[in-house]
Every structure is written in C-alpha cells, then in structure tokens.
Amino acid sequence: MKASSSNRTLKRVVAVAGLFAIAFGALTWAALESAEVVVLRTFDADGTAYESRVWIADDEEGRAWIEAAEPRKAFYLRLIGRPEVELLRAGATQTMRVVPLAGAEGHRLIRALLAAKYGWRDVWVGLLVDTSASVAVRLEPSTATPDSLSPSGADVR
C-alpha cells in the first residue's frame, strides 16, 4: 500500500509541475506575442541576414524605437556594425537606419515607452530578462535599398 500511495503522490506532483510549466509558457507567449511585434532584419559583415522579433514603440514625435536588452549580444553588435536594417511592420517592409541612444537617458526613454505600450507584458518580461543595461535604438527611414543590404540569395537566419 505504501508504494502505491507514494506513486500517486509523485504523479500528482508531476502533474502539477506540468500544469505550472504549461501555464508559465502560455503566459510568457501571451506577454511576448499578444501585442505588436515587428521583425527587424539585421545583417552581419558578410551580408547574411538575421531576423529578430522585437517590440517597438513610437514616441510622441512619431519616431520608432526598439530596445537592445543586452548590448554585448550579437543582435546589438550587428546593429552598430551595419546600421542599415529592414523593418517589417504592419505588412510593409521599410529600410531603416538605426541610431543607438546609449546611457541612462536612452535606457529611461525606451523603458518608459515600452512600459506605456506593453503594460503588464513589459512587467512580466522584465521578471524574465535583465534589461538594466539596455540601449534605446531609434529607427530612421533610410535611402538604402533592400538589395544593397544583403547579397542576392543570402541566407536569412
């Protein structure tokens, strides 16, 4: 009898843990994907394209901003290495030039913009991702053409 009781207890613990994991995953997915998410296509030195799904917020002047949560990661290094990017937003692709605003001023700006737009989603993601060193990145329209950003037939990662 004792083995049967401990097996039932173990099954309950596993079931509860599984339900918790599913709920955690669903909440995280909802936080990340249930509001506007854009695709930012960056390019490395060889012209290889990388697509990243990012949040975006517009300031009161209508300028678009994104956040580079960790300035040492490849995403941000590609942004500053090749500042011409492609923004896929609301079904349209636009060539943009990134203008980072590092430091405390930029950090406060992007955190305020994202918190205002994404609300509880921003709070939830803030519990999971350290944005204490994040960099605000303004996106400005560029005159570059998409063909000039990546060699023809380049891989998208």
pLDDT score at 157: 59
Q: For 34-45, how does the pLDDT look when each residue is reduced to its tens digit (9 = 90+)?
A: 678 999 999 999
Q: For 54-99, how does the pLDDT look when each residue is reduced to its tens digit (9 = 90+)?
A: 999 999 999 999 999 989 999 999 999 999 999 999 999 999 999 9
Question: For all residues of the chain together, what is the average pLDDT?
Answer: 86
pLDDT score at 121: 86
- Between 92 and 156, residue with greater pLDDT: 92
Give the 3-state secondary structure of residue 83. Answer: coil
Burial of residue 139 (number of CB atoms within 10 Å: 0-12, 13-18, 19+): buried
pLDDT exceeding 70 applies to what percent of the chain? Answer: 81
The answer to whether 55 touches 66, Cβ cutoff 8 Å, is yes
pLDDT score at 127: 87
CATH topology for 35-149 is Pnp Oxidase; Chain A (2.30.110)
The alpha-helical segments, DSSP class H, found in the chain are 2-33, 74-81, 103-118, 120-128, 146-149
Burial of residue 136 (number of CB atoms within 10 Å: 0-12, 13-18, 19+): buried
Residue 17 predicted with pLDDT over 90: no
The answer to whether 42 touches 52, Cβ cutoff 8 Å, is yes
Q: For 100-142, how does the pLDDT look when each residue is reduced to its tens digit (9 = 90+)?
A: 998 999 999 999 999 999 998 899 888 888 999 999 999 999 9
Task: Please name every residue paired with 51 in a beta bridge, in sequence order, or none if there are none.
Answer: 41
d(CA 37, CA 54): 6
Residue 31 predicted with pLDDT over 70: no
